[in-house]
Amino acid sequence: MKAAELFVRCLENEGVQYIFGVPGEENIDIMDALLDSKMQFITTRHEQGAAFMADVYGRLTGRAGVCLSTLGPGATNLITGVADANMDRAPMVAIAGQGATTRLHKESHQILDLVTLFAPITKYATQIREAEVIPEIVRKAFKVAQTEKPGSCFIDFPENIAAMQIAGKVPLGVQAPYTPAPADVKVAQAAHIISEARCPIVLAGNGVIRAGATQALVSFAEVLHIPVATTFMAKGAMPFSHELSLGTIGLKARDLVSCGFEQADVVICVGYDMVEYHPVQWNPGQDKAIVHIDSLPAEVDEHYIVETGVLGNIGETLRAVAWKARPHDRHPLRKLREVIVREIAELSEDQSFPVKPQKIVWDLRQMLAPDDIVISDVGAHKMWMGRMYQAERPNTCIISNGFASMGIAVPGALAAKLAFPARRVVAVTGDAGFLMNSQEIETAMRARTPFVILIWNDSEYGLITWHQLRHFGRPSHISFQNPDFVKYAESFGAKGYRVEKTSDLASILKQALTDNTVSIIDCPVDYAENMKLTQKLQDLTSPLPL
Ligand SMILES: Cc1ncc(C[n+]2csc(CCOP(=O)(O)OP(=O)(O)O)c2C)c(N)n1
Ligand SMILES: [Mg+2]
């Protein structure tokens, strides 16, 4: 068979269902071999869209999402999504065609050293130089991508190698890596520190979700009566409705939930990743005793000096420590939870227009079932979603907080719908991030993946305005004009809605969620709330007794 065919067999062997990408001249042998495969190729309108689709597909399923481009400009277009997957710890395998090995040593049309280019944004980047190594390279790429901490891998496939004949090679057997149980002595140390703590608190990160340890986390909290805060990327690891949940921590400002960390003497970090939320934010005085529970050792940071680290299977560790530690009497931060819950509902009836961020988040939550999936883009809207959207289940509120790239939500929603066709999907996005990848609406219409796009319209790079106002008191070069989003939607054959008064938002959402097509909602947002929040948090006094 041709090497390209062997390559396709290897992808099938990994259980790949979808490949997202853009065909090019240097990947024609792969494209042709795909015609004889059950894998579905989703032809996208930009390689960045394809990479974000693979990124979110990988994050939601735990199996590497796959994207494909041609050489040179096709490959460089993949980069943002590949970097995003790598820093959000989403398994991904990115593949690019390459010029023939006979012209890689010299200046030549569209040739770039792609392996070097992708090295800093992947866990493993390589070139196929001999057809016979294809089974090893593909297996290694998937294994590395899917092993803790998951991330991106990159394969560069020169066109002359893809066209070669190869005999006697078959895909390698797929083996799942096994994470061992923690050492008893470490479990005992952690249990001792937690038993002696005056006020322990759990900080749960995305690693808990990746390890499938959310139920173990809930039991741990219940058995020991320890409250849990999650990072943005761990939303839903602890159901928000649980009385021990303190919601989400993630703003670069002192927030309500920070008061719980101020009160705590011991912070139990479970599957926590400082790439998303720097420890200086919750341990500024470097005075917390940190218990690090993860499958890998902690990163070095002066604000993250661990008292003990328990390495191994996260679920098993939580069960073992819960069994050994002495339960605390009562939920010492109950009062804080009451204030957080009250704040989320504060503007639920607000009818002012443009719509306040808190009200958008509230109405969206009311309209969605616990299993429905929201993908947030990056901007001020992400801060409000991260802070106030109540998630009950893991992987139901996807936020990019490692690389935090704008443009993920629309392609991400398409991938979410492919991964979970029975669940409803909403892309929550700013007006700027929306237009960065809105070309993928066409892909979604073609792929028949219905979802809702909720645009928070402020005609600005709102998060940057917020930042500038906080630092300098005046905005600089952040305004723009938007197209007519309703007409734009209709030009794709999608549905378009405009929120003209606040009371319409819930009913428009309800309608859009049943449209069974791509529906785009243009929702004017009142970002005067951003600076009001800043002010409120600056003046915040802890609701907890000192
Ligand atoms: C690809 C990319 N470019 C720039 C940034 C920096 N950035 C973060 S948020 C933001 C503004 C987002 O504007 P919009 O999408 O309208 O959302 P809003 O903040 O208004 O809610 C920018 C420019 C980024 N994170 N990603
Ligand atoms: Mg905006």
pLDDT tens-digit map of 102-150: 999 999 999 999 999 999 999 999 999 999 999 999 999 999 999 999 9
Q: What is the pTM of this model?
A: 0.98
Q: Which residues pair with 41 in a beta bridge?
A: 19
- Alpha carbons 541 and 146: distance in angstroms, whole number: 44
Q: Is the pLDDT of residue 445 over 70?
A: yes
* Listed range (333-337, 347-351, 502-506, 517-521) with the worst mean pLDDT: 333-337
Mean pLDDT over 162-186 rounds to: 95
Residue of 46, 78, 378 to test ligand 1 pocket, by largest number of atoms within 8 Å of CB: 378
Listing from the earlier edge strand, what are the strands of the sheet with 40-43?
A: 40-43, 18-21, 65-69, 92-98, 152-158, 124-127
Q: Is the pLDDT of residue 543 over 90?
A: no
Mean pLDDT over 466-481 rounds to: 98
Residue of 461, 479, 525 to test ligand 1 pocket, by largest number of atoms within 8 Å of CB: 461
Q: What integer best gives the mean pLDDT of the chain? A: 97
> What confidence score (pLDDT) does residue 546 get?
64
Determine the 3-state secondary structure of 129 from DSSP. Answer: coil
Q: What is the DSSP letter of 328?
A: P
Residue 545, classified by CB atoms within 10 Å of its CB into exposed (0-12), middle (13-18) or buried (19+), is exposed
Band of pLDDT at residue 482, cut at 50, 70 and 90: very high
Packing angle, helices 380-388 and 357-367, rounded to 10:
60
DSSP for 262-292, written as a single string: HH-SEEEEES--TTTS-GGGT-TTS--EEEE
Band of pLDDT at residue 544, cut at 50, 70 and 90: confident
Q: Is the CB of 462 under 6 A from ligand 1?
A: yes
Listing from the earlier edge strand, what are the strands of the sheet with 397-398?
A: 397-398, 373-376, 425-430, 451-457, 518-524, 495-498
> What confidence score (pLDDT) does residue 455 get?
99
Closest CA to 331 of 242, 393, 255, 250: 242
> What confidence score (pLDDT) does residue 545 get?
75
192-211: per-residue pLDDT in tens? 999 999 999 999 999 999 99
Q: Which residues pair with 376 in a beta bridge?
A: 428
* Listed range (36-40, 326-330, 452-456, 536-540) with the worst mean pLDDT: 326-330
For 309, the enclosing helix (H) or strand (E) is: strand 306-311
- Residue in this structure with the two tokens 């952040």, named with its chain if needed: 478
Cα of 427 vs centre of ligand 2, distance in Å, is 14
Atom of ligand 1 nearest to the CA of 80: 1
- Alpha carbons 153 and 54: distance in angstroms, whole number: 12
Residue type, 276: E
377-412: per-residue pLDDT in tens? 999 999 999 999 999 999 999 999 999 999 999 999
> What confidence score (pLDDT) does residue 432 get?
98
Q: Is the pLDDT of residue 332 over 80?
A: no
Cα of 455 vs centre of ligand 2, distance in Å, is 9
